[in-house]
Amino acid sequence: MIINIRTRDDLAVLLAAGQSGDWVVSPVKEAMLTTVRIFDWQGDSVLIGDFDPHSSYRNLQGRLIIGIARGRIMRCQKDWYVLYGQSPIVYGENIAIQIHGGIRIGIVRQLAVDELSNTKINEYFKRLIQEIKLQEITTIVFCSGGLIPIPDFFIEWCQQNGVTIEIINDNEIARHYSTQNDLHIDEVFQMIEI
């Protein structure tokens, strides 16, 4: 899971420290984190890195200082309010990105839902919508045959926003969307020299 944070802190200082400021993050969410994205207040740049549980810790108030490994600052022209509203922390989903014929495609090779309740399924797809908006995805690919249904609200949102849903089996995903073609994060955002 990705944690997206909006901050007034200097991203270069956070990068040098390898840590974020302190944030309210539940232990359950902390255990699921894989990626950290800290957006500057203006939305001009983002600090991206791997979540480092070894350098993360909780302060006396129980707030999490998030450790960041392999961090880098990248250019990003995103309007936080359009993507996420007023919340300073929003969770997102890790999905593979590829470009085929100029079309930006998101590939969901495995749905990361920890329990099969409607609430958890809906939360996952709401996070997926935010990631689709951030990454400007126009086609989203799912593997067929799973136990998790795609909610109606997600299908409707995709239809209203011009996002095509493609559902294919494992073999077709491997053939058409090989992991070798996945974009590296440095290809998704533009690197800033510091």
Q: CA-to-CA distance for 159 and 153, rounded, in angstroms? A: 10
Query: What pLDDT is attached to residue 188?
Result: 62
Query: What pLDDT is attached to residue 115?
Result: 67
Asked if 5 contacts 33 with a C-beta cutoff of 8 angstroms, the reply is: no
Residue 75 has pLDDT above 70, yes or no: yes
Number of domains in the chain: 2
Domain residues for the domain of 39 are 2-92
Q: Which of 66, 92, 118 finishes a domain? A: 92
109 and 85 in a common domain: no
Q: Which of 55, 70, 92 finishes a domain? A: 92
SS (H, E, C) the chain: CEEEEEECCCHHHHHHHCEEEEECCCHHHHHHCCEEEEEECCCCEEEEEEECCCCCEECCCCCEEEEEEEEEEEECCCCHHHHHCCCCEEEECCCEEEEECCEEEEEECCCCCCCCCHHHHHHHHHHHHHHHHHHCCCEEEEECCCCCCCCHHHHHHHHHCCCEEEEECHHHHHHHCCHHHCCCHHHHCEECCC
87 and 8 in a common domain: yes
Q: pTM for the full model?
A: 0.78
Q: Which of 57, 73, 92 finishes a domain? A: 92
Q: Which residue has the higher pLDDT, 186 or 65?
A: 65
Quick one: angle between helices 118-135 and 152-160, nearest 10?
Answer: 20
Read off the pLDDT of residues 159-193 as tens digits, 9 standing for 90 and up: 999 999 999 988 898 899 888 888 766 666 655 54
Confidence of residue 93 (pLDDT cuts 50, 70, 90): confident
Q: CA-to-CA distance for 44 and 25, rounded, in angstroms? A: 25
Q: CA-to-CA distance for 93 and 76, rounded, in angstroms? A: 18
Q: Which residue has the higher pLDDT, 6 or 113?
A: 6
Say what the alpha-carbon torsion angle 140, 144, 146, 151 is, to the nearest 10 degrees. 40
